[in-house]
């Protein structure tokens, strides 16, 4: 039986070697790309969250009726940006009682112009004399241009008690000017 298997194996090998020889494989199509150097930017995206290195909490330090809050909570603000608008009517009413003064109510903001030409003084002289005699500091409107000469500028950036007291002193000063004029 072993001899039969051996004969069959030799016949199988002999028949395999008897055919045509296989040639080289067929060529395969190949794509080529020409490389040229050129500038490129590498961009990588990462999920992240930024936190400000310096945060502050803003609260109004002036009293009065807030007409509007200009800065929304949690939003960044810039130096000099209006944060709140306070109702100037109580201060306008207090100054309206003073002889020779005409208030120019602001459309918005924290400043108000007051025409002092009716007192007989320039804005600069009114400012100087008011500070000297009653300790109230205001700005000469003429510093802001020819259109505001003869005015003073008030600022509503202090507490309500100080604003009311300042308005009362301005009224007393304007009244004293009128009484000096009559004397």
Task: Quote the pLDDT of residue 181.
Answer: 61
Per-residue pLDDT at 137: 92
**Alpha-carbon span 37 to 77, nearest angstrom:** 47
- Determine the pLDDT at residue 124: 95
Instruction: Tell me the mean pLDDT per 10 residues along the chain, length 183.
Output: 70 61 80 85 78 69 70 80 75 85 79 91 94 94 91 84 89 86 56
What is the per-residue pLDDT for 44? 79
- Tell me the C-alpha distance between 81 and 87, whole Å: 18
Residue 26 token pair: 């067929």
The DSSP letter of residue 118 is: G
Q: Indicate the CATH number for domain 87-182.
A: 3.90.1150.10
Rounded to whole angstroms, the Cα distance separating 73 from 111 reads 23
Angle, alpha carbons 73-159-68 (nearest 5°):
35
Retrieve residue 1's tokens: 């039986």
pTM for the full predicted model: 0.56
- Please name the residue ranges forming H helices in the chain: 2-17, 89-96, 123-134, 160-182
């Amino acid at each position: 039986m072993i001899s039969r298997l051996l004969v069959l194996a030799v016949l199988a090998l002999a028949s395999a070697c008897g055919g045509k020889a296989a040639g080289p494989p067929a060529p395969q199509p190949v794509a080529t790309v020409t490389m040229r150097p050129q500038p490129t930017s590498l961009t990588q995206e990462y999920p992240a969250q930024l936190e400000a290195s310096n945060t502050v909490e803003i609260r109004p330090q002036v009293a009065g009726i807030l007409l509007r809050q200009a800065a929304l909570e949690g939003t960044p603000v810039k130096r000099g940006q209006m944060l709140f608008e306070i109702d100037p009517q109580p201060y306008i009413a207090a100054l309206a009682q003073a002889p020779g003064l005409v208030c120019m109510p602001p459309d918005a903001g924290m400043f108000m112009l007051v025409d002092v030409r009716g007192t007989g003084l320039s804005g600069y002289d009114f400012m100087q004399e008011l500070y000297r005699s009653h300790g109230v500091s205001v700005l000469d409107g003429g510093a802001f241009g020819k259109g505001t000469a003869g005015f003073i500028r008030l600022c509503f950036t202090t507490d309500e008690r100080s604003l009311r007291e300042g308005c009362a002193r301005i009224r007393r000063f304007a009244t004293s000017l009128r009484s000096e004029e009559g004397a």
